């Protein structure tokens, strides 16, 4: 695919293409002049950040480039407004415009994902998960507990009864995917609050194939009987059958919560449909808005009618005042995701991940699960004699931005790791096509083949002379052919 045709089909919304470049340039130049008059170092860092993002091959699977329309929406006076509560029911006066913003954001979310209810207030993915967990606890434990005690509200309980109920709330079980097989730390990892507030256990993947083994998940669920079954991942390169996950949850009486933070763009763009679309199957679906969905940094929750009332109490349950300027930007991003171009974009993300995986496979670089069918690949770098940390650093020296990631049963642990995670959403936004991603695989392999671990160190490495410069130059050609925010000048 040529850079031109890709750019016009996947990147023409919200000023990502050249059509709005002059207007966006004017807006940013003016904004930077204002910022400069107060704190020039911040104006300078802002300019440099754009230059750095333009000049690096960004393969971080959780990052993207939001449109100028989304970015500009965040820089307004909505930031100044407190609006605790929900639409039409605020603890502050004069929230009529925030009501509009939140109503538009949630309307787009419901329409886009086909969900009965949406909540746009979480500030991030972690917040969204925390609100979701407490909404599940409120629905499944607190409400029946109150009914049993003949009370309507927690404030009506005696201290002793409240202690009994609190103990129940704090003694529930959660089953999620383990961190080393691709789960997220909010899915019951002990150092995170989710692993402290729940008695947690984790399911992994089949050691032979690397795929989720639904029979094994079902067996564990039958034995452990969790209140919450979590599906979703940060570093699993395959699709999940959410219909099967729901069957497992139903069999053991669990609530199915899906965290689609990574792949929400593929759900929005109808690449994941049927059993692979979590929304019709999960009781509660959480997401970030800034990864493959290409919106502002933030969180979002979708829920069935049963869980909606509790999620709607995210404030004051977990959250304080919503970030109204970010909710406004979520509304703009979700409007973009409802345009037909977004479907082409989402499909390109998946096609490009396939091209990247094929590029590695044909160069004998080992991939966890042998490939991908979503937006990311997990490269096992042990065959290069490297740790993930060494590989990540050598790639960065060569202008390729990735992140190290544990592989299943990782011999190097979660800090040094044995893997590199690479995702396609960001470079697809720039207009990269399948041939470009094959070249990316070639460059990554070139760097790793020319990197040697130093002695027994898991961090130190030596990159063969000339490699970084050679790869930098080749990456520069790809970047120049697929410019970020084409025509935008500061
Ligand atoms: N859930 C998943 C699956 C994630 O991958 C992430 C972030 O990487 C999060 C939640 C947390 O998102 P945030 O960084 O916005 O809190």
Per-residue pLDDT of the chain (490 residues), as tens digits, is: 333 344 444 455 666 777 788 899 999 999 999 999 999 999 999 999 999 999 999 999 999 999 999 999 999 999 999 999 999 999 999 999 999 999 999 999 999 999 999 999 999 999 999 999 999 999 999 999 999 999 999 999 999 999 999 999 999 999 999 999 999 999 999 999 999 999 999 999 999 999 999 999 999 999 999 999 999 999 999 999 999 999 999 999 999 999 999 999 999 999 999 999 999 999 999 999 999 999 999 999 999 999 999 999 999 999 999 999 999 999 999 999 999 999 999 999 999 999 999 999 999 999 999 999 999 999 999 999 999 999 999 999 999 999 999 999 999 999 999 999 999 999 999 999 999 999 999 999 999 999 999 999 999 999 999 999 999 999 999 999 999 999 999 9
Which residue's alpha carbon is nearest to atom 2 within ligand 1?
Answer: 261
Buried b (16+ CB within 10 A) or exposed e, 459-479: eebebeeebbebbbebbeebb
Q: Any known ligand binding at 300?
A: no
Overall CATH class of domain 340-481: alpha beta
Centroid of ligand 1 to alpha carbon of 478 (angstroms): 29
Which residue's alpha carbon is nearest to atom 9 within ligand 1?
Answer: 125
3 state SS of 379: strand
Fold match flag (79-337 vs 340-481): no
Model pLDDT, residue 13: 60
Identify which of 261, 289, 295, 406 to mutate to test ligand 1's pocket (most ligand atoms within 8 A of the CB).
261
Centroid of ligand 1 to alpha carbon of 155 (angstroms): 33
Which residue's alpha carbon is nearest to atom 12 within ligand 1?
Answer: 125
What Cα–Cα distance (Å) separates residue 360 from each residue in 23, 367, 383, 405, 474?
Answer: 40, 8, 12, 17, 17
Question: What topology does CATH give the domain 79-337?
Answer: 3.40.640
CA dihedral 41, 42, 47, 49 (to 10 degrees): 110
Q: Any known ligand binding at 123?
A: no
| Active-site annotation, residues | 82, 84, 259, 288, 291, 297
**Cα atoms in the Cβ-side hemisphere of radius 13 Å centred on 40:** 0
Q: Any known ligand binding at 179?
A: yes
Model pLDDT, residue 10: 44
Q: Which two tokens stand for residue 450?
A: 């020319």
Nearest atom in ligand 1 to 298's CA: 15
Nearest atom in ligand 1 to 233's CA: 3
Say how far apart CA 143 and CA 184 lie, in whole Å: 28
Nearest atom in ligand 1 to 125's CA: 12
Model pLDDT, residue 2: 38
Centroid of ligand 1 to alpha carbon of 257 (angstroms): 14
Identify which of 125, 319, 375, 406 to mutate to test ligand 1's pocket (most ligand atoms within 8 A of the CB).
125
Find the length of the chain.
490
Say how far apart CA 228 and CA 203 lie, in whole Å: 13
Centroid of ligand 1 to alpha carbon of 384 (angstroms): 29
Cβ proximity of 266 and 92 under 8 Å:
no
Nearest atom in ligand 1 to 127's CA: 16
Model pLDDT, residue 453: 96
Model pLDDT, residue 3: 39
Interacting residues of 14 by C-beta distance below 8 A, sequence separation 6+: 20, 66, 67, 68, 69, 70, 332, 333, 336
Q: Any known ligand binding at 183?
A: yes
Centroid of ligand 1 to alpha carbon of 473 (angstroms): 33
Q: Which of 150, 143, 199, 207 is nearest to 171 (CA)?
A: 199
Model pLDDT, residue 15: 63
Give the domain ranges of the chain: 79-337, 340-481
Interacting residues of 98 by C-beta distance below 8 A, sequence separation 6+: 78, 81, 83, 90, 322, 324, 327
Which residue's alpha carbon is nearest to atom 11 within ligand 1?
Answer: 125
Query: Which residues contact ligand 1 via a Cβ below 6 A?
Result: 62, 124-126, 129, 184, 186, 232, 234, 259, 261-262, 288
Neighbours of 190 (CB within 10 A): 11
Centroid of ligand 1 to alpha carbon of 334 (angstroms): 18
DSSP 119: E
Nearest atom in ligand 1 to 288's CA: 15
Cβ proximity of 448 and 386 under 8 Å:
yes
Nearest atom in ligand 1 to 124's CA: 15
**Residue 335, preceding peptide bond in cis (omega within 30° of 0):** no
Which residue's alpha carbon is nearest to atom 7 within ligand 1?
Answer: 125
Q: Any known ligand binding at 293?
A: no
Model pLDDT, residue 7: 41
Neighbours of 419 (CB within 10 A): 29
Centroid of ligand 1 to alpha carbon of 95 (angstroms): 29
Model pLDDT, residue 437: 98
CA dihedral 384, 387, 393, 397 (to 10 degrees): -10
């Amino acid at each position: 695919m040529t850079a031109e045709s890709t750019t016009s089909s996947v990147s023409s919304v919200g000023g990502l293409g050249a059509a709005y470049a002059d207007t966006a340039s004017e807006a940013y130049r003016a904004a930077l002049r204002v910022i400069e008059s107060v704190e020039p170092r911040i104006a300078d860092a802002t300019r440099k950040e754009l230059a750095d993002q333009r000049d690096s091959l960004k393969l971080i699977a959780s990052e993207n480039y939001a449109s100028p329309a989304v970015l500009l929406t965040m820089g307004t006076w909505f930031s100044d407004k407190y609006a605790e509560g929900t639409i039409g029911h605020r603890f502050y006066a004069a929230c009529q415009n925030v009501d509009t913003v939140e109503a538009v954001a949630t309307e787009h979310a419901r329409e886009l994902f086909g969900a009965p209810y949406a909540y746009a207030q979480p500030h991030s993915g972690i917040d969204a998960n925390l609100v979701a967990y407490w909404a599940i606890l409120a629905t499944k434990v607190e409400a029946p507990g109150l009914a049993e005690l003949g009370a309507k509200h927690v404030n009506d309980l005696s201290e002793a009864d409240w202690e009994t109920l609190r103990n129940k709330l704090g003694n529930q079980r959660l089953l999620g995917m383990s961190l080393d097989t691709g789960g997220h730390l909010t899915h019951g990892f002990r150092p995170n609050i989710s692993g402290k507030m729940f008695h947690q256990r984790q399911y992994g993947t089949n050691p032979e194939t690397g795929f989720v083994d639904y029979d094994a998940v079902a067996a564990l669920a039958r034995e452990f009987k969790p209140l919450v079954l979590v599906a979703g991942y940060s570093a699993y390169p395959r699709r999940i059958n959410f219909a099967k996950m729901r069957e497992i949850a139903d069999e053991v009486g669990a609530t199915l919560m899906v965290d689609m933070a990574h792949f929400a763009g593929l759900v929005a763009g109808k690449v994941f449909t049927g059993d692979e679309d979590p929304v019709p199957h999960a009781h509660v679906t959480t997401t970030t808005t800034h990864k493959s969905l290409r919106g502002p940094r933030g969180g979002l929750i979708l829920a069935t009618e049963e869980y909606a009332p509790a999620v709607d109490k995210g404030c004051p349950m977990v959250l304080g005042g919503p970030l109204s300027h970010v909710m406004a930007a979520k509304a703009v991003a979700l409007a973009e995701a409802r345009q037909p171009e977004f479907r082409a974009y989402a499909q390109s993300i998946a096609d490009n991940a396939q091209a990247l995986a094929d590029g590695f496979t044909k160069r004998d670089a080992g991939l966890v699960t042998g490939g991908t069918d979503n937006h990311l690949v997990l490269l096992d770098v042990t065959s290069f004699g490297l740790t993930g940390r060494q590989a990540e650093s050598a790639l960065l020296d060569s202008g390729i931005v990735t992140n190290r990631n544990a592989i299943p049963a990782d011999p190097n642990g979660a800090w040094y790791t044995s893997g590199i995670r690479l995702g396609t959403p960001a470079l697809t936004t720039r207009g990269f096509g399948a041939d470009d991603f094959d070249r990316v695989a070639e460059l990554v392999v070139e760097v790793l083949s020319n990197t040697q671990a130093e002695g027994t160190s898991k961090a130190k490495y030596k990159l063969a002379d000339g490699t970084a410069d050679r790869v930098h130059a080749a990456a520069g050609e790809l970047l120049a052919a697929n410019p970020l925010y084409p025509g935008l000048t500061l």
